[in-house]
Amino acid sequence: MENQAQNDIKWFWKSRGGQQNGPADTATIAELAATGAVTAETLLSQNGRDWTRAASVPEFGFDFVILESGDNSRPVGPYTLAFLERREHGGWNRAAALIFERSDAAKRYSSAPAAAPAPM
């Protein structure tokens, strides 16, 4: 029933160029986040007036930060678990990176990424 209530919520989002899109349900926004079309920085709104960053909406799960190996590595993200899984299938080498998960996110996921996550 909770999933149905979440999918009844309608979201608007602003594309990188600032164009307002939507409305779309929660499942659609989550799918856009999995493909990278909606990022942690994407602005979302339920009414088209009050905007917040997607990373601040817990149901979208922007809970994972990556630190790739190398001399100039720096943390990137946050990303959703679905985005990381798709990226891995696209040829990204998960073994060459550390994945950090927000500690409060662990309660929402039944399985963690293959790399050893550590709280942020």
Read off the pLDDT of residues 65-93 as tens digits, 9 standing for 90 and up: 888 777 777 788 899 999 988 887 666 66
pTM over 0.95: no
User: Which of 40-44, 68-72, 95-99 has the highest average model confidence (pLDDT)?
Assistant: 40-44
* Residue 40 confidence class, pLDDT cut points 50, 70, 90: very high
Structure tokens at 101: 């998960």
Which position has the token pair 């943390």? 75
Helix or strand (DSSP H, E) at 12: strand 10-14
Q: For 58-64, what is the mean pLDDT?
A: 90
- Arithmetic mean of pLDDT over the chain: 80
Which pLDDT score is estimated for 23?
A: 96
Closest CA to 104 of 84, 82, 78: 78
**Taking 70 as the threshold, does the pLDDT of residue 29 lie above it?**
yes
